[in-house]
Amino acid sequence: MTTSRTRLFCLLGDPVDHSISPQIFTRAFEACGMDAAYLAFRVPGSSLGKAIAGLRALGVAGCNVTVPHKIAVMSHLDSLDRAAMEIGAANVIKMENGMAVGYNTDGDGALMALRRSDLSGKVVALVGYGGAARGVAYAIASSKDPGEVVISGRDRAKAESLAQRLASLFAVKSRSVSIEGLKEAAPDVLVNATPLGMKPWVDKSPVDADVLRAGMVVFDLVYNPTETRLIKEARAIGCTTIGGLDMLVGQAAAAFEIWTGERAPLEEMEKAASEAVAKGGAGE
Ligand SMILES: NC(=O)c1ccc[n+]([C@@H]2O[C@H](COP(=O)([O-])OP(=O)(O)OC[C@H]3O[C@@H](n4cnc5c(N)ncnc54)[C@H](OP(=O)(O)O)[C@@H]3O)[C@@H](O)[C@H]2O)c1
């Protein structure tokens, strides 16, 4: 039940009708007994500035930002935390005394998903160089002591640009390879940070199956379907597989803690996410 003091949180994206964030956050607020509500708003790019002004005018407490606004939203904010600034994308906004402050919690989510994987000295390859890839790559480079971070994708120049930025920001060896060059790079850990595997690309994998080796860790950011083609092929070969749902819940938990200053009810959020996906929800 809402009251006249209910704090409103929301999601801005386009599209948003597949999002399971309302289920995850509603459960979290209920579990903590908070008088708060969460709504998803579909906002086209041309209205993003007006939407942020609306958040300020209405006193909305905070919001998540999803595809395609994570980069564009930054120009509408008053300040950015260090991770958002370094990554060059914001997926969380907290309204603080009328000021909109941007954060990036994708990296926190990735670290949570990878919490059981020792990446120390390992070759970690990411396919993709977009907003999520940057968050994941920065988190791995800054916290997981990898031997090398390899960036790959269909545009080699964009992959190289992220590799160079990683090498300049962190004491990490980093380079780009073409998709065809991935097999030779012999990654110990492979991360899919492209939408390949989700609708409408459910029959696609970001890499040929011959890149996969038994014992490799394969982390797919796509979580709906939870069993992507990549995850199925990797499991069949004997890889350790990690789906995107752990990261989704991890980045949501980090957002909850930024907004409320309280510890996130992780188990409840995980349950809400699994139930929502089982019922056919699909996205951030
Ligand atoms: N599990 C989670 O919590 C979580 C969080 C964030 C994102 N994600 C998922 O991660 C994926 C990427 O999200 P994002 O925010 O990084 O999006 P983004 O900023 O739009 O980046 C997309 C990346 O995928 C590449 N790509 C797009 N379409 C492709 C195609 N048809 N073939 C090959 N590469 C393609 C893009 O390369 P080009 O520039 O060459 O197009 C870019 O590198 C999405 O599936 C999203 O749902 C999951």
Global pTM reads 0.92
pLDDT average, residue stretch 217-235: 95
State residue 117's pLDDT score: 96
**Do 7-104+246-278 and 108-243 agree at the fold level?**
yes
Tell which residue, 254, 217, 29, has the closest CA to residue 119: 217
State residue 72's pLDDT score: 95
**Ligand 1 lined by 13 (C-beta under 6 Å):** no
State residue 236's pLDDT score: 97
> Predicted confidence band at 278 (pLDDT cuts at 50, 70, 90)?
confident
State residue 13's pLDDT score: 96
Q: Where are the beta strands (DSSP E) in the chain?
A: 7-13, 36-42, 62-65, 79-80, 92-96, 99-103, 123-127, 148-152, 174-177, 189-192, 217-220, 240-242
Domain ranges of the chain: 7-104+246-278, 108-243
> Predicted confidence band at 29 (pLDDT cuts at 50, 70, 90)?
very high
Give, rounded to a whole angstrom, the gap between the first and last alpha carbons of the chain.
Answer: 24
Residues paired with residue 13 on neighbouring β-strands, in sequence order? 42
Question: Of these residues, 50, 70, 158, 199, which one is catalytic?
Answer: 70
State residue 284's pLDDT score: 56
Q: Which residue has the higher pLDDT, 233 or 96?
A: 233
Q: Which atom of ligand 1 is nearest to the CA of 127?
A: 43
Domain at 108-243, CATH from 1.10.10.10, 3.30.1490.20, 3.40.30.10, 3.40.50.720: 3.40.50.720
183 in catalytic set: no
Omega within 30 of 0 (cis) for the link into 146: no
CA 24 to chain CA centroid, Å, is 15
**Ligand 1 lined by 91 (C-beta under 6 Å):** no
pLDDT in tens, 202-220: 999 999 999 999 999 999 9
**Ligand 1 lined by 71 (C-beta under 6 Å):** no
pLDDT above 90 (res 275): yes
Superfamily for 7-104+246-278?
Answer: Leucine Dehydrogenase, chain A, domain 1 (3.40.50.10860)
**Atom 48 of ligand 1, nearest CA residue:** 221
**Ligand 1 lined by 110 (C-beta under 6 Å):** no
pLDDT above 90 (res 127): yes
CA 227–ligand 1 middle distance (angstroms): 17
CA 64–ligand 1 middle distance (angstroms): 17
pLDDT average, residue stretch 160-174: 95
Per DSSP, 6 falls in state: P
> Predicted confidence band at 44 (pLDDT cuts at 50, 70, 90)?
very high
> Distance between CA 169 and CA 158 in Å, rounded?
17
CA 195–ligand 1 middle distance (angstroms): 5
pLDDT in tens, 171-197: 899 999 999 999 999 999 999 999 999
